[in-house]
A and B are shown apart, each in its own frame.
Chain A
Amino acid sequence: MEETRVLAVEDVSKSYGRIDALCGISFWVEKGEIFGLVGPNGAGKTTTIEIIAGLRSPDSGSVSLLGLDPQRDEDRLRHHVGIQQQESELPERIRIREAMQLFSSFYGSTVDWRALLERMGLSDRLDSFFGELSGGQKRRLFISMALLSDPEVILLDELTSGLDPQGRRMLWDLVRDMRDSGKTVLLTTHYMDEAEHLCDRVGIIDRGRLAALGTPAALVAGMPGGTRVTVTPGRSLTNDVLDQLRGIEGVTGARLERDALVVGITSGRVLVDLVGLMSGLGLDLEDFDVERPTLEDVFLSVTGRELRD
């Protein structure tokens, strides 16, 4: 098992002056997975990723990346780990071609940067100045730069923040391509839907602490209350009916919210019995709705507050 572990973060803490940015974070990342650190801005995601990349030193705790210590082996890791940083820029008037040539020349061997830009949909911008690119194009350029050395591990900090839905989906596809070509991806995001759709496993991070860790499906399944079924029955219901619903195995609760009937169930299998009983009782099922909890709900439940943006 050990050799499939690409990254191990153990009990890492970091403070800036009086502010504790990280208070004892531990997690690991397996080879070939997309791991997401999810949390609000200021939760400590960027600090974590910068410590992993060797750009910052932890106050305590240890990091092992590809079996190396990012602090001691920073130079060696640069060739095996690509990073796309938040809030990094290039000079306004450098041409894309010049930037890619320059950064390629820093690595001993690189993949063909023209092919990279082609895949990122930037091959028609070779002669543009950096300052002329849109936000999404800049992001894709920086991802290309992170991929220049054909790294085994890719760190992506706030991959899609500030992009339109189309741009986000394009980047999601690129990240999946990276995984499918055998690379390991660690990304941070404050979008819960991004973590849920893109990541194989996520760590929910809040105020410098890891609040939950697991696959999105497992985190969601572990939510108390589970899936919610809502229906507007079309007639008034007696307590007797509610009790009958509660009697079904797998139903965690049934109550009325205004004219809507809300039933909590533990899994989709319960739906068969539930629908059977409801139609037997003659309830109107026209707006029958099944709502699974999302990571957003998980975040709310493990941190006790809404995700602020």
Chain B
Amino acid sequence: MRAARNALRIGRVELLLYFRDHSAFFFTLIFPLMLMLLFGSMWGNSPFEGEAFGFIDFSVSAFMAMVIATSGIMVLTTNIAAYRERGILRRFRASPASPVAVLLGEVIAVFAVTIAGVVLLLLAAIVLWGVRFWGSLPEFLAAFLLCSISLAGLGFIPASLARTARGGLVAANLLYFPMLFLSGAAVPFRMLPPFLKGFAQALPLTHAVRLMQGVWLGGSLLDYPLELAVLVAVMLAGLLVACLFFRWE
């Protein structure tokens, strides 16, 4: 209970710090929006041939997955690695806030940013293209939550293993950028050449995108057993690595 209160307090301050960090702000809130506006202005949202939905209907949930990945991998990993290197985790550890509260606070802040980014995308898609939603809201929220936790778990792998802030940043970049462009999050999946599509199957974000898109367009969670399994496995792997290897300094 006390840990939860402390986590909220830390999360609130971390959120403030996030808005003071212009690069994190840009990559989570502005960059996905820019990409959606760019592709949206090229292709509009008129229905594809033989389909009820157009490009934005199809892609808005993919851009949401991009926000989730940016927060979970880039922001979380680089923050934690930098906090460790600079001795900020040390300082928190010497206070009555439990170590778990510190990490939880970080996750809360990152999750709040994700929600803000998703709402921003949604508003733009509604206002500019009258985007439509075919799925069930509880199922979509569940998919959104699972993807957020799973990708944050993925972010905890480099965050736990990196020895330096620079190492954390490099690892986060190596995970993030290939996933971003190959998973269908930033660039529509169908535009990829076949050999990259095969490679993309190995990326957790590909599965997150597919799940979010499927549920958005009216599918049920249970139509995506492979995606669910991969995301749950990634989540557990992240948890395991964090429990085994996470270091405070």
Residues in chain A within 8 A of chain B (CB atoms): 53, 55, 75, 78-79, 83, 85, 87-91, 93-94, 98, 102-103, 105-107, 142, 145, 149
Contact = CB atoms under 8 A, between A and B. Distances in A.
B90 A88 contact: yes
Contact of B88 (A89, A105, A106, A107): A89
A93 B20 CA distance: 7
A94 B91 CA distance: 14
- Could you tell me the dominant secondary structure of chain A's interface residues? loop
Interface of B is mostly: helix
Contacts of B16: 94, 98
A107 B96 contact: yes
A185 to B, nearest CB: 16
Contact of B87 (A55, A79, A89, A103): A89
B13 A85 contact: no
Given A78-B96, A106-B97, A88 B88 contact: yes
B86 interface: yes
B9 A85 contact: no
Nearest to B97: A106
Interface of B: 6, 9-10, 13, 16-17, 20-21, 83, 86-88, 90-91, 93-97
Contacts of B20: 93
B21 A93 contact: yes
B9 A91 contact: no
Contacts of B10: 102
Given A89-B88, A91-B17, A103 B93 contact: no
Given A78-B95, A93-B17, 20 more contacts: A53-B94, A85-B87, A85-B94, A87-B87, A87-B90, A88-B91, A88-B94, A89-B86, A89-B87, A89-B88, A90-B91, A93-B20, A94-B13, A102-B9, A102-B10, A102-B13, A106-B6, A107-B96, A145-B91, A149-B96
A102 B96 CA distance: 11
Nearest to B16: A98
A55 to B, nearest CB: 7
29 contacts: A53-B94, A55-B93, A75-B96, A78-B94, A78-B95, A78-B96, A79-B96, A85-B87, A85-B94, A88-B88, A88-B90, A88-B91, A88-B94, A89-B87, A89-B91, A90-B88, A91-B88, A93-B17, A93-B20, A94-B16, A94-B17, A98-B13, A98-B16, A102-B9, A103-B95, A105-B6, A105-B9, A106-B9, A106-B96
